[in-house]
């Protein structure tokens, strides 16, 4: 496999360099404009009245008190708006034919099903007036029992919706060969059975959500500004759900301050602003508050996992069997039921396993709906297998690195057809492990650990490994069809060379922090021989970029970037024909280098692409039948997922007296195939690691027994900052993907996927000599202290 991108790529280009991001000056100087920054004269501000009960019948809603408040223009209950909807809110992933999905309306009609479920809206001249008036809406509730705990909800002791017969929404199974699994477990010399809880997480993007819908004065059209990852999908879904013809909706995502999956959704507030602007013929806007975001924006994770390994006495794994309960929350949002399926194929991790079984049951609870959150299914899968591999290592008395080595899919086995049914594109798992162990000085750490244990030191050292593979580049449309997803996985692009030789790129991928503008500019710069600064990247506006499937699942480069490259190749093909015409040679006699076509063997006879663009624009002398202008489009539907991989190593110090865990060192070796901009890759890895560390040590959406969310501010929901992590040691191996012409894989989620089990494995490793084998996430100081006390009574730890 070659690392070069195409035969025409100049040897010295910008691809592969650490170019500073073109996006950053506007973001760092405050010039970037987010939805909340937009000045829209005459707009009404919406405030949402939300249920304070996890489960309640809404007996009556009286908005008259609000209507008398200063500045209030209107107020509505769910019943008042019932006629506005073309359909209930969308779920695009009915994973089974018999999946239960109770109708979900932007404002609840009769029953509120989680704390934060909307029961009324108030519109006023300012945000402050709307919020003041929201407190004057009188709602009478009849409180109902709430299904809060996931496993309790699965028992159907309490129903989360009064019109459901069971909280179990669906059961989805992937067991290609049940007999093989049974045989493997019957024959296994060693088995491991572990139970892990994936706590709920609050995505906490830096910018909360925001919507502003401006009805256009003539023609019944709507301009929808939304802090969304998915303007294209949103447009279609708004059309269906609000009953507005799709072509009358234009969605613009201005600067968007992060999403992590939480803005990969169609939300009640987006629909409300649209239908209320239609009803009132005025712009309607809403800006989410931080505590509101904790309740009204989707949560991530929320699973109880049971994983079993069947192995021989050397720790070679023969079979993996997994059963999940997945917390849907109160309703199905856009892809809620499908999130576990994104991990369903990966519970054997990077290991060569012959027999495989996965079953997941989705369960409704009276809590905020869950949905995709950075990694979506793959962090959960990686956590389970990587924790279980450490358990296996303990059981067979082998070092965790060695047990991984014994089980890796060999570098010579790619493309590798997995027992779960995937075709892993390329990989060298042992190479990444070796590099990571060397980077962190694994042998030295083990010696230091033994020394401290021998001395009875109060600061215990722990080393945790996590070898991962994930699937991204979502996704081949045919595969999505087989998983019952209602859309495809392609991406669209247009490349246009303007008369002055500048380049416009139109992309259907929608950046919200990833650096698409920089990366796309770099790809185009090398393809067309222009400077990256001469490339304008247009995105995130359905009027400018009408076709696209947006940004999530580490798909943008592998799918959207490939579409850009293919469109550029088509533009070059056209330019080549024009150049051949003007230079009076055959097209195949021309070679392209640094944006210039020259005749082979006669380099003085040449034409630059910029000049050809001008010729194509004037159209004074084009070949017979050629259309004017240099422009080409491509829509790329990937043939396979891509499979990034790597090994992360976390090193922790545990204060045996207090239980405090300090992450003192962290090394990550990732392989995302070819890199367009290693600086951007570093940034994704940094942020990803911290987000995974957050799950391991800090973050949890905590509910009380009545279903009240207790972590609604950053005082209680602990998002780690730079002060909580060490400087990371990063390494990279490069195994290009054969699945796309760029040879790229994706890196947006890898850090999050890898780091959580590495950190928890490190903490357990630090305490393993005391007999500790597991600590629930987040691994809080108190939990560590209690684990020490429970494992080794008399050592001073708590009970």
Q: How far apart are CB 245 and other proteins at their closest, in Å?
A: 36
The residue range among 396-404, 436-444, 655-663, 737-745 that interacts with other proteins, by the rule CB under 8 A, is 655-663
Q: How far apart are CB 114 and other proteins at their closest, in Å?
A: 20
Could you tell me the two tokens for 761?
């494995």
Q: How far apart are CB 225 and other proteins at their closest, in Å?
A: 21
Q: Of 62, 289, 448, 591, which one interacts with other proteins (CB under 8 A)?
A: 289
Contact status: 37 vs other proteins (CB under 8 A): no
Contact status: 132 vs other proteins (CB under 8 A): yes
Nearest residue (CB) to other proteins, 706 versus 724? 724
219: left (phi over 0), alpha (psi -120 to 50) or beta: left
Q: How far is residue 311's CA from residue 221's CA, in Å, rounded to a whole number?
A: 62
DSSP of 108-162? -SSEE-STT-EEEEEEESSHHHHHHHHTT-EEEEEE-----SHHHHHTTSS-SST
Nearest residue (CB) to other proteins, 126 versus 500? 126
Q: Of 17, 127, 191, 477, which one interacts with other proteins (CB under 8 A)?
A: 127
Nearest residue (CB) to other proteins, 287 versus 768? 287
Contact status: 782 vs other proteins (CB under 8 A): yes
Question: What is the distance, to the nearest Å, from the Cα of residue 289 to the centroid of all Cα atoms in its chain?
Answer: 22
Q: Of 158, 415, 781, 792, which one interacts with other proteins (CB under 8 A)?
A: 781
Q: How far apart are CB 655 and other proteins at their closest, in Å?
A: 9
Hunting for tokens 């790619």 — which residue is that? 414
Q: Of 9, 291, 484, 729, which one interacts with other proteins (CB under 8 A)?
A: 291
| Helix-then-strand count for the chain, H and E | 21, 28
Nearest residue (CB) to other proteins, 193 versus 290? 290
Nearest residue (CB) to other proteins, 130 versus 355? 130
Contact in structure between 798 and 789 (CB atoms under 8 Å): yes
The residue range among 177-185, 381-389, 593-601, 652-660 that interacts with other proteins, by the rule CB under 8 A, is 652-660
Contact status: 531 vs other proteins (CB under 8 A): no
Contact status: 295 vs other proteins (CB under 8 A): no
Could you tell me the two tokens for 217?
């004065």
**Close Cβ partners of 547 (under 8 Å, ≥ 6 residues apart):** 232, 492, 508, 635
Could you tell me the two tokens for 281?
């013929």
Contact in structure between 737 and 642 (CB atoms under 8 Å): yes
Window 687 to 726, contacts with other proteins (CB under 8 A): 697-698, 702, 710-711, 713, 715-716, 718, 720-721, 723-724
Q: How far is residue 678's CA from residue 681's CA, in Å, rounded to a whole number?
A: 5
Nearest residue (CB) to other proteins, 247 versus 657? 657
The residue range among 163-171, 259-267, 493-501, 657-665 that interacts with other proteins, by the rule CB under 8 A, is 657-665
Window 399 to 438, contacts with other proteins (CB under 8 A): none
Nearest residue (CB) to other proteins, 246 versus 657? 657
**Close Cβ partners of 125 (under 8 Å, ≥ 6 residues apart):** 44, 45, 71, 73
Contact status: 138 vs other proteins (CB under 8 A): no
Beta-sheet strands, E only, within 674-732 = 729-732
- Spatial strand order of the sheet with 190-201 comes to 168-174, 355-364, 317-329, 300-311, 190-201
Contact status: 798 vs other proteins (CB under 8 A): yes
Nearest residue (CB) to other proteins, 297 versus 737? 297
Q: How far apart are CB 724 and other proteins at their closest, in Å?
A: 6
Nearest residue (CB) to other proteins, 33 versus 290? 290
Please choose, from the candidates 313, 298, 301, the residue with its C-alpha nearest in 3D space to the C-alpha of residue 259. 298
- What is the torsional sign of CA 675, 676, 677, 681? negative
Q: How far apart are CB 682 and other proteins at their closest, in Å?
A: 23
| Run of H or E including 392 | helix 378-396
**Close Cβ partners of 420 (under 8 Å, ≥ 6 residues apart):** 174, 176, 344, 345, 346, 347, 348, 356, 358
Contact status: 459 vs other proteins (CB under 8 A): no
DSSP of 377-390? THHHHHHHHHHHHH
Q: How far apart are CB 291 and other proteins at their closest, in Å?
A: 7
Q: How far apart are CB 469 and other proteins at their closest, in Å?
A: 32
| Run of H or E including 549 | none
Q: How far apart are CB 723 and other proteins at their closest, in Å?
A: 4
Contact status: 660 vs other proteins (CB under 8 A): yes
Binding site for other proteins (CB under 8 A): 127-128, 131-132, 289-291, 657-658, 660, 697-698, 702, 710-711, 713, 715-716, 718, 720-721, 723-724, 780-782, 785-786, 798
């Amino acid at each position: 496999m070659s690392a070069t991108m195409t035969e025409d790529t100049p040897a010295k280009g910008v691809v592969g360099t650490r170019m500073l991001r073109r996006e950053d000056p506007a973001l760092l100087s405050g010039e970037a404009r987010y939805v909340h920054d937009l000045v829209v004269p005459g707009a009404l501000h919406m405030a949402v009245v939300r249920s304070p009960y996890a489960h309640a019948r809404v007996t009556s809603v009286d908005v008259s008190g609000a209507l008398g408040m200063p500045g209030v223009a209107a107020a509505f209950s769910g019943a008042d708006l019932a006629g506005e909807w073309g359909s209930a809110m969308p779920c695009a992933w009915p994973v089974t034919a018999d999946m239960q999905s109770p109708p979900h309306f932007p404002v609840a009609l009769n029953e509120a099903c989680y704390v934060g479920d909307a029961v009324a809206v108030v519109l006023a001249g300012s945000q402050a007036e709307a919020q003041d008036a929201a407190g004057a809406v009188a709602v009478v509730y009849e409180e109902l029992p709430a299904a809060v705990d996931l496993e309790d909800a699965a028992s159907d002791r309490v129903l989360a919706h009064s019109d459901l017969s069971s909280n179990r929404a669906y059961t989805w199974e992937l067991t290609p060969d049940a007999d093989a699994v049974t045989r493997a477990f019957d024959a296994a010399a060693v088995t491991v059975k572990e139970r892990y809880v994936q706590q709920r997480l609050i995505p906490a993007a830096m910018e909360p959500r925001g919507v502003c819908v401006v009805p256009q004065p003539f023609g019944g059209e709507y301009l929808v500004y939304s802090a969304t990852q998915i303007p294209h999908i949103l447009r279609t879904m708004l059309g269906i759900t609000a009953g507005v013809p799709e072509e009358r909706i234009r969605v613009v995502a201005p600067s968007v301050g992060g999403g992590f999956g939480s803005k990969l959704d169609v939300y009640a507030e987006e629909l409300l602003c649209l239908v209320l602007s239609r009803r009132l013929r005025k712009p309607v806007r809403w800006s989410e508050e931080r505590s509101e975001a904790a309740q009204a924006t989707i949560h991530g994770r929320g699973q109880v996992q049971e994983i079993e390994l069947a192995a021989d006495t050397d720790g070679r794994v023969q079979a993996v069997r997994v059963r999940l309960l997945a917390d849907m929350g109160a309703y199905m949002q856009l892809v809620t039921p499908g999130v576990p399926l994104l991990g369903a194929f990966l519970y054997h991790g990077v290991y060569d396993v012959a027999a495989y079984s996965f079953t997941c049951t989705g369960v409704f609870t009276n809590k905020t709906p869950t949905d995709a959150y950075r990694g979506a299914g793959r962090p959960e899968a990686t956590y389970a297998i990587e924790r279980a591999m450490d358990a296996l290592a303990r059981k067979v008395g082998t070092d965790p690195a060695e047990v991984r080595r014994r089980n890796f899919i060999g570098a010579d086995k790619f493309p590798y057809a997995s027992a779960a049914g995937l075709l892993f594109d390329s990989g060298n798992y042992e190479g990444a492990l070796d590099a990571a162990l060397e980077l962190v000085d694994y042998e030295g750490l083990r010696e230091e650990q033994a020394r401290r244990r021998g001395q009875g030191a109060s600061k215990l050292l722990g080393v945790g490994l996590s070898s991962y593979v994930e699937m991204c580049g979502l996704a081949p449309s045919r595969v999505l069809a087989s998983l019952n997803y209602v859309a495809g996985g392609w991406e669209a692009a247009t490349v246009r060379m303007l008369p002055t030789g500048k380049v416009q790129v139109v992309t259907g991928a929608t950046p919200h922090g990833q650096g698409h503008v920089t990366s796309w500019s770099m790809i185009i710069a090398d393809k067309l021989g222009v400077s990256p600064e001469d490339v304008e990247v247009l995105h995130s506006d359905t009027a400018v970029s009408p076709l696209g499937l947006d940004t999530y699942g580490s798909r943008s480069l592998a799918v959207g970037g490939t579409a850009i490259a293919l469109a550029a190749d088509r533009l070059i093909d056209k330019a080549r024909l024009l150049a051949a015409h003007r230079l009076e040679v055959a097209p195949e006699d021309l070679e392209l280098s640094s944006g210039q076509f020259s005749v082979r063997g006669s380099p003085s006879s040449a034409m630059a692409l910029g000049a050809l663009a001008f010729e194509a624009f004037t159209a004074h002398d084009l070949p017979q039948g050629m259309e004017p202008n240099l422009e080409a489009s491509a829509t790329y539907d990937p043939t396979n997922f891509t499979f990034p991989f790597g090994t992360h190593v976390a090193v922790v110090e545990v204060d045996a007296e207090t239980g405090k865990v300090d992450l003192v060192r962290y090394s990550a070796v990732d392989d995302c195939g070819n890199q367009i901009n290693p600086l951007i890759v570093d940034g994704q890895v940094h942020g990803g690691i911290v987000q995974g560390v957050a799950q391991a040590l800090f973050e949890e959406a905590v509910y009380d027994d009545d279903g009240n969310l207790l972590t609604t501010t950053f005082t209680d929901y602990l998002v780690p900052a730079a002060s909580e992590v060490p400087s990371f040691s990063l390494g990279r191996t490069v195994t290009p993907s054969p699945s796309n012409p760029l040879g790229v894989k994706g890196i947006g989620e890898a850090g999050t996927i890898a780091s959580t089990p590495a950190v928890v494995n490190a903490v357990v490793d630090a305490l393993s000599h005391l007999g500790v084998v597991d600590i629930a996430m987040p691994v809080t100081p108190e939990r560590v202290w209690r684990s020490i006390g429970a494992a080794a009574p008399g050592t001073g730890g708590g009970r």
